Amino acid sequence: MKAVLSASVVICAYSERRWDDLQAAVQSVQRQTVAAQEIIVVIDHNPDLLEKAKIALAGATVMPNSQRRGLSGARNTGLQSTTGDVVVFLDDDAVANPSWLRGLLSGYDDPAVLGVGGRIEPRWDGGQPRWFPPEFLWVVGCTYAGMPDTPSPVRNVIGASMSTRRAVASEAGGFRVSLGRIASVPLGGEETEFCIRTAAASVGGFWLYDPRAVVHHRVPTTRANWHYFLTRCLAEGYSKSAVARFVGSGPALASERNYTLRVLPRGILRGLRDVTRGDITGLARGAAIWLGFTATAAGYLVGKVHPYQPSAGPRPHIALGEDEGMTG
């Protein structure tokens, strides 16, 4: 008989400017066809938001980030308080489809699955700019062209909608606090490093991407411009160089090689075909792919020459009690 796994959903938030988004995220979890065992909201070093959330977010457990400021520390704080078999992370500006949690949990039917990520659709406030190439939707934290169309093993999943076995997260010690976004600073890499590290520590374990588990990620107009696009590409390259220092350049860049050699050239060719069919913005999309790649590569090279040196202590160990129902 197949075991029924329980799920704890963790949502991390840091800014009152996203209050409406946070409320919508919590409500979307409460409307799931498979109920979460608990919803934990972690507030990242913002006392005013913490008090507001404790009063208004009925049905959720609200707590402060007890670790270093930033998304990694906030996620680790949430992890320490979960009791479900599977820990699920949802961004505070994302809204989940009602079948999202069911879709993620179905991936754990295979005992070799370490974690499952879902499809992240952009929800543009002002509409997607016509120059914005689908190959670079990762810039706004969404599923991008080139990712699988069916459930498939992947190197890493995207953090806006990701889950992992609680035992896996415990054994790994959580997310590395020297990586990851702090407030609005667009650094990252903590999910990639976490996925690579847990897979390397497992015999036969792998991460799964299931596009049937869908969330809608809000993209404000402040992220729909060339400045944010290029800044985020630079930051991604810089973050990737930091990940490479922990896991090696081979694992850190394995997916990027296929993306660079196959996905991006196809995107440029598609843009040129669009031009021949009368869509002049295809030229802008092709140019955005080239500029985005160049900026990302430049960020990586800068990170190799001038590596980021965070003032972080040792990676925290997340201990779970023996009576808390860990599953392998």
Whether the Cβ atoms of residue 122 and residue 137 lie closer than 8 Å to each other: yes
**pLDDT attached to residue 178:** 81
For the CA atoms of 160, 165, 168, 172, the dihedral, rounded to the nearest 10 degrees, stands at 30
Query: What is the average per-residue pLDDT within 304-313?
Result: 64
Structure tokens, 182:
């702090």
Q: Tell me the C-alpha distance between 73 and 95, whole Å.
A: 22
Is pLDDT of 324 > 80? no
Burial (CB count <10 Å: 0-12, 13-18, 19+), residue 82: buried
Taking the CA of residue 156 as centre, how many other CA atoms within 13 Å lie in the half-sphere pointing to its CB? Answer: 24
Of the candidates 173, 163, 158, the residue with the CA atom closest to the CA atom of residue 114: 163
Question: What CATH number was assigned to the domain covering residues 7-222?
Answer: 3.90.550.10
Say which residue, 189 or 31, is predicted with more confidence.
31
Instruction: Please give the span between the terminal C-alpha atoms of the chain, in angstroms, as a whole number.
Output: 16
Of the candidates 206, 4, 215, the residue with the CA atom closest to the CA atom of residue 105: 4
Q: Tell me the C-alpha distance between 327 and 168, whole Å.
A: 9
Q: Which pLDDT tens digit goes with each residue over 63-121?
A: 999 999 999 999 999 999 999 999 999 999 999 999 999 999 999 999 999 999 999 99
Q: Tell me the C-alpha distance between 128 and 268, whole Å.
A: 18
Decide the pairing of beta strands 7-13 and 38-43: parallel
Angle between helix 226-247 and helix 190-200 axes, rounded to 10 deg: 30
Enumerate the β-bridge partners of residue 206: 113
Is pLDDT of 27 > 60? yes
pLDDT tier at 317 (50, 70, 90 boundaries)?
very low
Phi, psi of 42 (to 5 degrees): -105, 125
Neighbours of 203 (CB within 10 A): 5
- Average pLDDT score, the chain: 90
Domain boundaries, the chain: 7-222
pLDDT tier at 177 (50, 70, 90 boundaries)?
confident
Highest mean pLDDT among 116-120, 173-177, 302-306: 116-120
**pLDDT attached to residue 309:** 63
pTM: 0.89
Range scoring the smallest mean pLDDT among 44-58, 146-160, 237-251:
237-251
Neighbours of 109 (CB within 10 A): 10
Query: What is the average per-residue pLDDT within 179-204?
Result: 82
